[in-house]
């Protein structure tokens, strides 16, 4: 039997993102763009995201089921991993169909002997029955609590330890559970658009959580395609929107310099809320996308390339500097599960330095009374509260007004940190 297209596509996405280190969404877009619309695209995306979310648990099971896990070829493990994801998590695909494509593909890519190994591993998994679907199985087969959490919640052990040390057991459990759960879809209504109230009123009854103009939806309603096209709505996680409210975005004085504006997600959140914004970023390609977003949403935001750590030469002084800084992304693993398999503790230290340099250079742009707002999408105290703590120690002329962190009880699946300071 030939391998169904969706599995080949999923393996191609995984090769791009895990082996070539491409960003997951870009890997999905590149792998799927030549494929005609249809169910293969949906299944390939589900397999790639699902496998990446559960890769740690799957690898733990593989270590139990393979005779020599460390000497097994990576391609065999990858094919088995995707097949195991199907067997454990996708109830609509019959087991025999999964075994069939996986064993055929291993034979094609390796050889008949490896095909028999693959068949044996997958049948051993099926013989375990329901056991691997419950935490007890992992508790009894791991040594120590960290290893158990890493296996059950499919998370690298260094990250489990970072969270336990930084946030304690209860919040770590909540972060870990969120990291393996598909997050809701976020929408922001463009409050400056003539149809804003109509779109907001249609979304309200469908939402599982909301703010005044933001919504978290279990699925994407058909009418939103039109709303996005006409500029009355934008995809944006509700947790990202809420952190901006939590650090008092409404009170920030204009003009705001959004110095890590990227494609403009938060630039236009600010514009829609009535702020006058200038956008800058180190990445010209993202700034081009930001300008295209402006055309869709009805804003002409001045945008220019600048390195956050300076040197800066602005003709006018911003009254607020907003920094949505480059960070380790450990708060958005549910939407970007590739990050947990790529990020290292060393990268986090490098990012802490870069954030510090950006803070130093941009804080110097402010005059007395100016605001400095800082946001990350990570769960790492060194990049969050300790970064701000160190900044205020170095700069007693700044007073911390508010700090906030996404609350796991909101069940938005993503976690942001924010702080706002005023220059005295
Ligand atoms: C978290 S993203 C910003 C997301 C964006 N604010 C949004 O809401 O869509 C961080 C941004 O920082 C930019 N960046 C990275 N290093 C930078 C630097 N040294 N100076 C300025 N921007 C930088 C990246 O290009 C990226 O767009």
**Both 196 and 340 in a single domain?**
no
Instruction: Tell me what percent of the residues of the chain surpass a pLDDT of 70.
Output: 99
Q: Which of 281, 307, 327 to mutate to test the pocket of ligand 1 (most atoms within 8 A of CB)?
A: 281
Does 131 share its domain with 219?
no
Contact 231, 237 (CB under 8 A): no
Instruction: Specify the ligand 1 atom closest to the Cα of 283.
Output: 25
Q: What single-letter DSSP state applies at residue 276?
A: -
Relative to the CA of 269, which ligand 1 atom is closest?
Answer: 8
Asked, for residue 179, whether it belongs to a domain, the answer is no
By C-alpha distance, which of 424, 415, 337 is closest to 372?
424
Residue 193 lies in a domain: yes
- Which residues share a beta bridge with 209? 216
* Distance in Å, CA 239 to ligand 1 centroid: 18
- Say if 105 falls within a structural domain: yes
Let me know whether 296 and 219 are in one domain. no
Does residue 199 share a domain with residue 302?
no
Which of the listed residues 303, 326, 361, 376 should we mutate to test ligand 1's pocket, taking the one with most ligand atoms within 8 A of CB?
A: 326
Spell out the SS3 assignment of 218-259.
CCCCCHHHHHHHHCCEEECCHHHHHHHHHCCHHHCCCCEEEC
Edge-to-edge strands, sheet with 233-235:
209-210, 214-217, 185-189, 233-235
Q: Which atom of ligand 1 is nearest to the CA of 354?
A: 19
CA distances from residue 416 to 107, 374, 387, 408 in whole angstroms, order as listed? 45, 11, 14, 11
- Residues 229, 252 share a domain: no
Answer yes or no: is pLDDT of 1 > 70. Answer: no
Average pLDDT of the residues of the chain: 97
Residue 172 lies in a domain: no
- Say if residue 192 is in the same domain as residue 252: no
Closest CA to 26 of 15, 12, 40, 16: 16
Claim to verify: residue 279 and residue 306 sit in the same structural domain: yes
Q: What is the CATH number of the domain that holds 91?
A: 1.10.940.10
Q: d(Cα 149, Cα 396) in Å, to the nearest integer?
A: 41
Query: Atom 4 of ligand 1 has which residue's CA nearest to it?
Result: 262
Looking at residue 3, its pLDDT comes to 60
**Which of 235, 262, 356 to mutate to test ligand 1, by most ligand atoms within 8 A of the CB atom?**
262
CA 240 to ligand 1: nearest atom: 8
What residue's CA is closest to ligand 1, atom 25? 283
Which ligand 1 atom is at minimum distance from the Cα of 329?
A: 1
- Looking only at the bridges linking them, the beta strands covering 185-189 and 214-217 are antiparallel
| Number of domains the chain is built from | 3
Say how far apart CA 117 and CA 123 lie, in whole Å: 10
Residue 210 lies in a domain: yes
Residue that finishes a domain, picked among 143, 173, 201: 143
pLDDT tens digits along 240-258: 999 999 999 999 999 999 9
Residue 269 is assigned to a structural domain of this protein: yes
Would you place residue 282 in the very low, low, confident or very high pLDDT band (cuts 50, 70, 90)?
very high
CATH code, domain with 193: 3.30.70
Which of 112, 143, 174 is the endpoint of a domain? 143
Domain-embedded: residue 148? no
| Axis crossing angle, helix 238-246 with helix 265-272, rounded to the nearest 10 | 60
Residues near 111 by beta carbon (within 8 Å), at least 6 away in sequence? none
The SS3 of residue 374 is strand
Taking only the tens place, the pLDDT of each residue in 10-34 is 999 999 999 999 999 999 999 999 9
The residues, any chain, with a CB within 8 Å of residue 203's CB and separated by 6 or more, are: 187, 189, 210, 215, 217, 221
The answer, yes or no, to whether any atom of ligand 1 lies below 6 A from the CB of 309, is yes
Question: Residue 22 is part of which domain span?
Answer: 5-143
38-95 tens-digit pLDDT: 899 999 999 999 999 999 999 999 999 999 988 899 999 999 999 999 999 999 999 9
Q: Residue 303 Cα, ligand 1 centroid: separation in angstroms?
A: 13
CATH of the domain at 393: 3.40.50.150
Asked if residue 367 and residue 311 are part of one domain, the reply reads: yes
- Ligand 1 near 336 CB (within 6 A): no
For residue 372, what is the DSSP state?
Answer: E
Nearest Cα neighbor of 367 from 417, 326, 316 is 316
Question: Which residue do the tokens 């400056």 mark?
Answer: 192
Looking at the structure, tell me whether residues 294 and 321 fall in a common domain.
yes
Tell me the per-residue pLDDT of 150-182, one tens digit each, with 9 for 90 and over.
999 999 999 999 999 999 999 999 999 999 999
pLDDT at 355 over 60: yes
38 shares its domain with 108: yes
Most ligand 1 atoms within 8 A of CB, residue of 23, 256, 260, 277 to mutate: 260
E-only strand ranges, 86-207: 185-189
**Collapsing DSSP states into helix, strand and coil, what is residue 21?**
coil
Residue 255 and residue 123 share a domain:
no
Q: What is the pTM of this model?
A: 0.95
Residue nearest to atom 3 of ligand 1 (CA): 262
d(CA 322, CA 261) in angstroms, rounded, equals 9
Ligand 1 neighbourhood includes 293 CB (under 6 angstroms): no
Q: What is the pLDDT of residues 316-328, one digit of tens each?
A: 999 999 999 999 9
Cβ-count burial 231-249 (b if 16+ within 10 Å, e if not):
bbbbebbbbbbbbbbbbeb
Residue 196 in any domain: the answer is yes
Q: In sequence order, what E strands does 137-296 have?
A: 185-189, 209-210, 214-217, 233-235, 256-258, 277-281
pLDDT given for residue 404 in this prediction: 98
Tokens of 17: 């993102």
Same domain, 41 and 92: yes
- Label residue 277 exposed, middle or buried (CB < 10 Å: 0-12, 13-18, 19+): buried
Ligand 1 atom, smallest distance to 281 CA? 22
């Amino acid at each position: 039997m030939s391998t169904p297209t969706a599995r080949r596509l999923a393996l191609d996405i995984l090769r791009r993102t895990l082996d070539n280190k491409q960003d997951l969404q870009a890997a999905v877009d590149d792998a799927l763009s030549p494929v005609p619309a249809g169910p293969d695209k949906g299944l390939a995306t589900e397999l790639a995201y699902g496998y990446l979310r559960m890769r740690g648990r799957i690898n733990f099971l593989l270590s139990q089921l393979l005779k020599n896990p460390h000497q097994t070829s990576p391609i065999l493990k990858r094919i088995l991993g995707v097949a195991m994801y199907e067997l454990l998590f996708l109830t609509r695909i019959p087991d025999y169909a999964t075994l069939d494509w996986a064993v055929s593909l291993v034979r094609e890519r390796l050889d008949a002997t490896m095909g028999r190994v693959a068949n044996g591993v997958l049948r051993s998994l099926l013989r375990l029955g329901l056991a691997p679907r419950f935490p007890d199985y992992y508790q009894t087969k791991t040594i120590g609590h960290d290893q158990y959490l890493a296996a059950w919640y499919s998370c690298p052990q260094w990250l489990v330890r970072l969270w336990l040390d930084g946030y304690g057991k209860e919040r770590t459990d909540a972060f870990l559970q969120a990291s393996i759960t598909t997050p809701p879809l976020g929408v922001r209504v463009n409050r400056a658009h003539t149809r804003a109230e109509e779109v907001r009123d249609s979304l309200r009854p469908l939402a599982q959580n909301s703010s005044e103009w933001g919504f978290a939806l279990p699925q994407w309603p058909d009418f939103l395609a039109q709303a996005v096209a006409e500029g009355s709505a934008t995809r944006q996680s509700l947790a990202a929107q809420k952190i901006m409210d939590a650090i008092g975005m409404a009170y920030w004085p204009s003009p705001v310099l959004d110095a890590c504006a990227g494609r403009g997600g938060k630039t236009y959140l600010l514009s829609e809320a009535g702020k006058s914004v200038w956008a800058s970023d180190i990445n010209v390609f993202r700034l081009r996308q930001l300008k295209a977003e402006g055309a869709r949403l009805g804003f002409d935001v001045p945008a220019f390339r600048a390195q956050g750590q300076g040197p800066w030469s602005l003709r006018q002084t911003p009254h607020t500097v907003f920094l949505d800084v480059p960070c380790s992304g450990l708060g958005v693993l549910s939407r970007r599960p590739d990050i947990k398999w790529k990020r290292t503790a060393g990268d986090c230290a490098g990012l802490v330095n870069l954030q510090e340099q950006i803070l130093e250079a941009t804080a110097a742009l402010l005059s007395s009374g100016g605001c400095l707002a800082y946001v990350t999408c990570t769960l790492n105290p060194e990049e969050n509260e300790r970064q701000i703590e160190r900044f205020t120690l170095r700069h007693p002329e700044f007073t911390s007004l508010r700090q906030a962190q996404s609350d796991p009880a909101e069940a938005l699946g993503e976690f942001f940190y924010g702080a706002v300071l005023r220059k005295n």
